[in-house]
């Protein structure tokens, strides 16, 4: 399995910053933030599945646009996997015929560009040899993370989440974890803002990390543009034993 980071920033601005989008091989997206816009049209058309962590705009911004761009070129709908609660938000506030067309009925209800597939916390969905499992998250809106398992190992993407013991319990039960991607959206100097917006800062993240550094690589996402150096200094201070690495647009990981 090939994991390509199309975007992992907490915002936009310049070449380094694209919002959250992870490409699994060439046919599955986890979230569809602004990083998706860098794919060419053929690459967009190859995407058959998208797993949504939550409905915040930085995670779904390119979903409506990519459907409009490649829907007519594709022979089947894009399958969007998410919780029923997230589907309800997307239907009510995005694909509502006002902000954007209802692509679950366009061009026809029998052959739409988009269909939803429910996936609740704890549920799994196999696509080829890759098994996607929704993990707990706490973010003020309905949210999940994902484990992606292959016969050779797993990676976990925590999505947007503040302190969430159930997530870490789930992570502890993954024996073949290779990469753990979690957010640190704010530096410790903005801890109160992190708490109010139901994100994490390095100190809050470090308080949840397993006592023993595992065999997995700890990768940090969703860092606020302009605060990368400060956030990484904080992380080195509070989580040095886990050797955290900041995720970057264009990074590729293979399992």
Cβ at position 125, least distance to Zn ion in Å:
22
Name the pairing type of β-strands 2-7 and 21-24. antiparallel
Residue with Cβ nearer Zn ion (56 or 178):
56
Instruction: DSSP for 7-31, please give it.
Output: E-BSS--STT--BSEEEETTTEEE-
> Does 183 help bind Zn ion (rule: CB under 5 A)?
no
> Does 49 help bind Zn ion (rule: CB under 5 A)?
no
Q: Which segment (22-30, 61-69, 154-162, 245-253) binds Zn ion by CB under 5 A?
A: 154-162
Rg (CA), the chain: 17
Residue with Cβ nearer Zn ion (10 or 101):
10
Residue with Cβ nearer Zn ion (87 or 160):
160
Name the pairing type of β-strands 245-246 and 217-221. parallel
Residue with Cβ nearer Zn ion (70 or 185):
185
Cβ at position 56, least distance to Zn ion in Å:
4
> Does 199 help bind Zn ion (rule: CB under 5 A)?
no
Q: Which segment (58-66, 92-100, 127-135, 144-152) binds Zn ion by CB under 5 A?
A: 58-66
Contact 129, 150 (CB under 8 A): yes
CA 199 – CA 175 distance, rounded (Å): 26
Q: Which segment (72-80, 105-113, 152-160, 236-244) binds Zn ion by CB under 5 A?
A: 152-160
Cβ at position 59, least distance to Zn ion in Å:
5
> Does 198 help bind Zn ion (rule: CB under 5 A)?
no
> Does 56 help bind Zn ion (rule: CB under 5 A)?
yes
CA 19 – CA 9 distance, rounded (Å): 5
Residue in 87, 160, 188, 234 binding Zn ion, rule: CB under 5 A: 160
Query: Buried b / exposed e across 31-56, counting CB within 10 Å, b at 16+?
Result: bbbbbbbebeeeebbebebbbbbbbb
The CB density around residue 214, as the number of other CB atoms within 10 Å, is 16
Residue in 58, 87, 188, 234 binding Zn ion, rule: CB under 5 A: 58
Cβ at position 222, least distance to Zn ion in Å:
6
Size of the site for Zn ion (CB under 5 A): 3
Residues that bind Zn ion (CB under 5 A): 56, 58, 160
């Amino acid at each position: 399995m090939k994991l390509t980071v199309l975007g992992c920033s907490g915002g936009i601005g310049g070449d380094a910053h694209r919002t959250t989008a992870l490409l699994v091989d060439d046919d599955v997206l986890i979230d569809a933030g602004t990083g998706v816009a860098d794919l060419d049209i053929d690459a967009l058309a190859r995407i058959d599945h998208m797993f949504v962590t939550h409905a915040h705009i930085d995670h779904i911004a390119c979903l409506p646009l990519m459907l409009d761009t490649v829907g007519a070129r594709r022979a089947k709908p894009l399958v969007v996997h998410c919780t029923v609660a997230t589907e309800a938000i997307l239907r009510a506030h995005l694909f509502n015929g006002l902000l954007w067309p209802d692509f679950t009925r366009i061009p026809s209800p029998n052959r739409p560009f988009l269909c939803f597939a429910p996936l609740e916390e704890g549920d799994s969905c196999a696509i080829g040899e890759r098994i996607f499992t929704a993990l707990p998250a706490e973010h003020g809106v309905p949210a999940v993370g994902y484990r992606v398992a292959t016969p050779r190992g797993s990676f976990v993407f925590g999505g947007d989440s503040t302190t969430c013991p159930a997530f870490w319990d789930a992570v502890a039960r993954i024996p073949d974890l290779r990469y753990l991607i979690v957010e640190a959206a704010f530096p410790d100097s903005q801890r109160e803002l992190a708490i109010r917006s139901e994100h994490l800062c390095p100190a809050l993240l470090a308080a949840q990390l397993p006592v023993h550094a595992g065999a997995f690589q700890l990768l940090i996402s969703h860092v606020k543009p302009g605060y990368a150096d400060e956030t990484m200094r904080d992380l080195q201070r509070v989580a040095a034993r886990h050797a955290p690495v900041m995720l970057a647009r264009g990074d590729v990981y293979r399992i």
